[in-house]
Amino acid sequence: MKTEIRTFLINACFWVISISIIFFFFILFLYSHNNINDPLKESFSLTISLFSALATLGAAIIAARLFQNWKTQHSFTEQIKILSHMLMSLDEI
């Protein structure tokens, strides 16, 4: 795997997890301060909902990035095939 893609995947996962952790502690503080019943349970519930949404968006961004890289690589492969066909045709002449 290319180092650029690996770095992008690690960064995307890092941002999703860090935003979820920050959100969890913010909601826990907010619920504890406002005397909500079971603030830990409520914080976990909201954080898991946010994490699933962020994970879905992160997966879509990663898939789009990987598809773009694949498309570029595939077009270069097709160009190489066409050029090799042209060279073979020139050799026959």
Question: Which DSSP state fits 73?
Answer: H
Cβ–Cβ under 8 Å, residues 27 and 46: yes
Residues 81, 69: Cα–Cα separation, whole Å: 19
Cβ–Cβ under 8 Å, residues 40 and 55: no
Tell me what pLDDT residue 1 has.
Answer: 58
Q: For Cα atoms 36, 40, 41, give the angle at the middle one, nearest 5 degrees.
A: 90
pLDDT digits (tens, 9 = 90+) for 29-78: 999 888 888 888 989 999 999 988 988 988 888 888 888 777 777 777 87
